[in-house]
Amino acid sequence: ASPWKEEPVKKFPEDFLFGAGSAAYQVEGAWDEDGKGESIWDDFMHNKPWLMIAQDGSSGDVASDSYHNLERDIQIIRELGLDSYRFSISWPRLLPSGFPDQVNEAAIQYYNNLINELLKHNIEPIVTIYHWDLPKSLQDLGGWTNPNIAQWYEDYARIVFDNFSNRVKLWLTINEPNEICYLGYGHVLEAPALNASGIADYLCAKNLVIAHARAYRLYTSQYKPLHGGRVGIVFSANWHVPLNPDSEADKLADTLHFQAKFGIYANPIFGYGGFPKEYSERVAEKSAAQGFPRSRLPEFSEEEKQFVLGSYDFMGVNHYTGQLVTAENVPEYAVPSLLDDTGADLITLDEWKQSTSPWIKWMPNSLYNQLLELGSLYPGVDFYITENGWSGSTGLVDDDRVDYLRSCLQQCLDAVADGVRLKGYYTWSLMDSFEWAFGYGARFGLYEIDFEDPKRPHTPRKSALVYKHIIKTRAIDYDYAPDSLVMTID
Ligand code: PNW
C-alpha cells in the first residue's frame, strides 16, 4: 500500500520519456572483433587485474554480448514498452586508432542497425558519445590530462554526427566527468587508474569541459540547423547535506565537497563560468601552502570561459544515493589530493539499506532533494535522469529494486509537481552487464543475463514487469503485482 494513497493520483506527462540505459564496454563484448581498437578498459582488465575490486579475473571481453545480440536487445526494449533507449558508442570501435584516419565500417553498421531498429519501433535513441572507453592510443598521449584531447574528442564527435545525426536527436556528450577524472585519474577505481589526485583529476576536469563544449558548438553550428536535435552532458549527483546543519564547518565542507565532485564540471557550463569560486580559492590557498608555484586547479582564460559557458540544451543527471558531509574527524587524506582539498568526510547511516554495490545505500528522498537543489541552482534548465537504479544479485524476484524504482519515480513525480523541468527518466540498467571494477557481482538489470552460458540468455525480473506497467499507465500503482514473470511485446 502506498504512503501517498491519500493524495490525488499523479500521472507522468504524456511526453515524459521512460527509458533504460547501457554503456558500450559494459554490454557489447566483441572487444577485439571487426577491427575494434583497444580501449583503456580493455587495458585495465587485461593488464592490471589486481586493481579490480571483484578480484575474479573477469572483464568486458564478452560482457552481455550485445554486439552479437541486437535482436535480443530490441526484443526486450520492445517488451518493456520503453519510449527511449540510452546506449553509448565505443570510440575505439568507431575509430580504432583514436583518430579519424581510419573509420571502422563494421562499427557504423552495428550502430546503424541498432538506431534503425529502434526507430522502426518508435523508440527514441539517446546516445552517449563517450562512456569511459577511451582509445588506449590516446591514453598513451596523456588521455584527458592532455589539452589536445578537446580537439581529438571534437574530431571523434564529428564522425559520430556525420553518420548518425540524421536519425539521433538526443545526444549526451560525456558520461560522468567526476567518475572519469576523479575515479580514473585521481584514484585507481577506474581506468586509467592514474592515482594522481589533486593534479591529474583537475587537469582532466578543465580539458573535459572544453571537449564537451567543442562538441556542443560543433553540433549547434553544423548539425542542429539540419536536424534540430539537442545536446547535453551527464553528471553524477549524489545528494549531500551537512551532518550537523548548525555547524558552519560542516556547511562549508558540504559546499566544497559538492563543488569538487559536481560544481567543477557543472559551473563552467551551467553556472557563472569557470570553476566555482569557493573551491578555486580553497585549492589556490592549499597549493600555495604546499609550495606549488600556482594553483593545482587550472584557470580558464576569459575566452575559454565564454566558450564553455552555456554549452548545453539540457542536463543529464545520474543519481543513486547520497551522504552526510562533515568537517569533524576527517581522515588523514593524501597530500595533495581532491579529498584533502575539500576537508570533508562522508557519512552514511546504518539504517539505510545497503545494495550490492558498496557505494550505493538507499538514502531516503535523495533523488527528490537532489532534483530540487538542481532546479533551484539552474532555473530554466531541462533535466533528464539519465541513470538511476538498484544493484542486487542474481535472482528474478527483485523486490528491493521494485521498491527503489517506485520510490524514485514517485520522487520524480513530486519534483515535477514542485516545478522541476524533468523531461525523462532512464533506469539503470536494461540488463545485467559488466559493472566495471565490480565485475559481474553487482546486478543492475531489469533483465537477468546468465554470464556462464555462451549464449547469454536473458530473463525478465519482477522489476521489468513493474516498470512496464508504470510506463503503460504512466502512473505508479503500488498494489500492482504481476501474476507471472512473462514478458511479451504488446
Ligand atoms: C555509473 N559513485 O557509475 C556509470 O555511469 C554506469 O556505467 C555504472 O554501471 C553505474 O553508475 C552503476 O555503477 C558510477 O561512486 C560509479 O558515486 C560510481 C559513482 C557514481 C556512478
ipTM of the prediction: 0.93
Which helix (H) or strand (E) segment is 200 a member of? helix 200-218
CA separation for the pair 205, 213 (Å, rounded): 12
> Nearest C-alpha to atom 3 of ligand 1 is from which residue?
179
Q: What average pLDDT does range 32-55 have in this prediction?
A: 96
Q: What average pLDDT does range 417-446 have in this prediction?
A: 97
Q: What average pLDDT does range 411-415 have in this prediction?
A: 97
Q: How many residues does the chain have?
A: 490
Which grid coordinates belong to 159? 564522425
Q: What number does the ligand 1 atom closest to the CA of 234 have?
A: 5
Q: What number does the ligand 1 atom closest to the CA of 389 have?
A: 12
Ligand 1 centroid to Cα of residue 360, in Å, is 9
Burial tier of 374 (Cβ tally within 10 Å: 0-12, 13-18, 19+) = buried
Mean pLDDT of the chain: 97
Chain position carrying cell 609550495: 291
Ligand 1 centroid to Cα of residue 190, in Å, is 10
Least confident of 56-60, 111-115, 251-255: 56-60
Please tell me the predicted confidence (pLDDT) of residue 10.
86
pLDDT above 60: residue 470: yes
In Å, what is the CA distance from 108 to each residue of 37, 54, 71, 104, 131?
14, 33, 17, 7, 17
> Nearest C-alpha to atom 8 of ligand 1 is from which residue?
435
Percent of the chain with pLDDT over 70: 98
Please tell me the predicted confidence (pLDDT) of residue 101.
98
Q: What number does the ligand 1 atom closest to the CA of 359 have?
A: 15
Q: 176-193: per-residue pLDDT in tens?
A: 999 999 999 999 999 999
Contact by Cβ (8 Å): 433, 445: yes
Q: Which of 154, 387, 435, 448 does the annotation list as catalytic?
A: 387
Contact by Cβ (8 Å): 96, 35: yes
Please tell me the predicted confidence (pLDDT) of residue 3.
53
Q: 212-257: per-residue pLDDT in tens?
A: 999 999 999 999 999 999 999 999 999 999 999 999 999 999 999 9
Q: Where are the beta strands (DSSP E) in 90-180?
A: 124-130, 170-175
Task: Give the confidence band of 327 by pLDDT, cuts at 50, 70, 90.
Answer: very high
pLDDT above 60: residue 6: no
Please provide the DSSP assignment of 330-366 as one string: -----SS-HHHHHT-EEE--TTSEE-SSTT-EE-TTH
Please tell me the predicted confidence (pLDDT) of residue 1.
39
Ligand 1 centroid to Cα of residue 85, in Å, is 18
Specify the higher pLDDT residue, 57 or 396: 396
User: For the whole model, what pTM was predicted?
Assistant: 0.97
Ligand 1 centroid to Cα of residue 243, in Å, is 24
> Nearest C-alpha to atom 7 of ligand 1 is from which residue?
23
Q: What average pLDDT does range 115-133 have in this prediction?
A: 98
Number of H helices, E strands in the chain: 18, 15
Chain position carrying cell 544479485: 393
Ligand 1 centroid to Cα of residue 417, in Å, is 28
Q: What average pLDDT does range 93-99 have in this prediction?
A: 98
Q: What number does the ligand 1 atom closest to the CA of 436 have?
A: 9
Ligand 1 centroid to Cα of residue 74, in Å, is 24
Tell me how far the alpha carbon of residue 438 is from its chain's centroid.
16
Among the listed residues 20, 33, 87, 30, the one whose alpha carbon sits nearest the alpha carbon of residue 60: 30
> Nearest C-alpha to atom 14 of ligand 1 is from which residue?
179
Burial tier of 124 (Cβ tally within 10 Å: 0-12, 13-18, 19+) = middle
> Nearest C-alpha to atom 20 of ligand 1 is from which residue?
236
| Ligand 1 binding pocket mutation candidate from 359, 443, 444 (most atoms within 8 A of CB) | 359
Ligand 1 centroid to Cα of residue 71, in Å, is 27
Q: 32-43: per-residue pLDDT in tens?
A: 999 999 999 999
| Ligand 1 binding pocket mutation candidate from 28, 128, 428, 433 (most atoms within 8 A of CB) | 428
Active site residue 176: yes
| Ligand 1 binding pocket mutation candidate from 25, 320, 356, 430 (most atoms within 8 A of CB) | 320
Ligand 1 centroid to Cα of residue 479, in Å, is 31
Q: 348-375: per-residue pLDDT in tens?
A: 999 999 999 999 999 999 999 999 999 9
Ligand 1 site: residues with CB under 6 angstroms? 23, 26, 175-176, 179, 236, 238, 318, 357, 359, 387, 428, 435
| Ligand 1 binding pocket mutation candidate from 131, 361, 436 (most atoms within 8 A of CB) | 436
Task: Give the confidence band of 8 by pLDDT, cuts at 50, 70, 90.
Answer: low
Q: Which of 38, 154, 176, 190 does the annotation list as catalytic?
A: 176
Contact by Cβ (8 Å): 340, 198: yes
> Nearest C-alpha to atom 12 of ligand 1 is from which residue?
435
Q: What number does the ligand 1 atom closest to the CA of 23 have?
A: 7
Please tell me the predicted confidence (pLDDT) of residue 376.
98
pLDDT above 70: residue 2: no
Ligand 1 centroid to Cα of residue 147, in Å, is 25
Please tell me the predicted confidence (pLDDT) of residue 98.
98
Tell me how far the alpha carbon of residue 384 is from its chain's centroid.
11
